[in-house]
Amino acid sequence: MPSKQQSIILGGLVVTILSTSYLSYINMLCCLGVLTGSMVAVWHYTDTNEITIRSGEGAVMGILAALFGLVIASVLNFSLIKMGIRHDLAISQAILNFAGDSMPPEQYDAMVEQMEAEYTIGMMMKNMAFGAIPYVIFGAIGGLIGSKMFKKGGDEPADFEG
């Protein structure tokens, strides 16, 4: 079976792009960026090699593409935040602008404190750890969908040969 590495990297790069800076808000729509990147990985692999893959293979490819994208996007986002591009605060700022007057003072103060806190490598690692769960789930779903959508060269292969 041909190597999946190039396809996983391509799908991971799509996940990275759709998970970096302000584009990351696309993932608020059922992890759409993760689903898209995972499906791209499967599409590229099946199209390039003119083969059909099992659902499980698609799911694994989707998970790997999603995790690759998560790691690279986390590093890029950390770098952007350190350069002063604070896309991570956009939603908090919108909430404060919209509902700040109706919030309990403690909640308002906690949000302001969080917004003013320095973004550290520890925070990036924590966010990456928490992000891994939905990225794995939606990466697998994207890979499964891709394996069903992008069939090449006939039906899905049998589980057992012989």
Question: For residue 10, what is the enclosing H or E element?
Answer: helix 5-17
Max CA separation in the chain (angstroms): 70
Low pLDDT (below 50) residues in the chain: 160, 162
- Residue 154 has what pLDDT? 62
Give the whole-angstrom CA distance, residue 111 versus residue 109. 5
Sequence spans of domains, the chain: 5-82+124-149
**What pTM was estimated for this model as a whole?**
0.84
For residues 92 and 85, the answer to whether their CB atoms sit within 8 Å is: no
